[in-house]
Amino acid sequence: MRLASWLLTICAFGALVQSAVAQESDTVKPVPRDAGWMKRHDSFNERVKQGNVDLIFIGDSITQAWEGPGKQVWADTYAKRNAVNLGIGGDRTQHVLWRLENGNIEGIKPKLAVIMIGTNNSGNNTSEQIAEGITAIVHKLREKLPETKILLLGIFPRGVDDEDAKRKVNAGANAIVAKLADGKMVEYLDIGPKFLDDKHVLSKDVMPDLLHLTPAAYKIWADSIEEHVSRMMGETK
């Protein structure tokens, strides 16, 4: 009996430890990064202080590259909408959370926030943990920008095909966060299939390193979300 009781105690303790670890995923713990990262973060804070912000894009290097391969599409499609690019290469959900808590959206009331984040977590975190991080970002935006609508994009596909390990992790996260759509302030949209062929293969003509987009792929991105952007910003019904 004593042995059985001891084993039950050990098992219960183990379950508590596992539960605590699950609750402490790094994806939801806001953290900053290095000095170079902080410099770009600070530049965002200075930009939003100037006001006149109606549209924000939040994400990692894929979003930041609206300033690179996507520059012309941005100029043609979003510059006239008072859009601000809040993307930083290498960011994970925890870094975006820190930025949102430390000035990136302070004092502004954009009509729409477009989010695409999570792929940099796919090498270290589970689908569930990434979904927790994305959910925390959505909740933070709803808290700090209650009048801002949110277009949450599914994490873009990466790797050659559906057998890619990180693509699988991201797809799992997408399936979870799709449920964040509330039919009013938050919409979910997965445009991933737009980048793939009919066999779900990702071409290097679309993403040369099977992760980052070409100029043509930025046009696909913009075209694929335009109906949602115009409607959610109140430009069309």
Catalytic site positions? 61, 209, 212
What count of other Cβ atoms lies within 10 Å of the Cβ of residue 83? 20
Least Cα distance to 153 among 184, 124, 117 occurs for 117
Residue 62 identity (one-letter amino acid): I
Least Cα distance to 115 among 85, 76, 73, 70 occurs for 85
What's CA 115's distance to the chain center, in Å? 5
| Residue 34: Cβ-neighbour burial (10 angstroms; 0-12, 13-18, 19+) | exposed
What count of other Cβ atoms lies within 10 Å of the Cβ of residue 221? 24
Q: What is Dmax (Cα atoms) for the chain? A: 75
What is the chain's alpha carbon radius of gyration, rounded to the nearest angstrom?
A: 19
**228 contacts 151 by C-beta, under 8 angstroms:** yes
Least Cα distance to 57 among 84, 34, 38, 80 occurs for 84
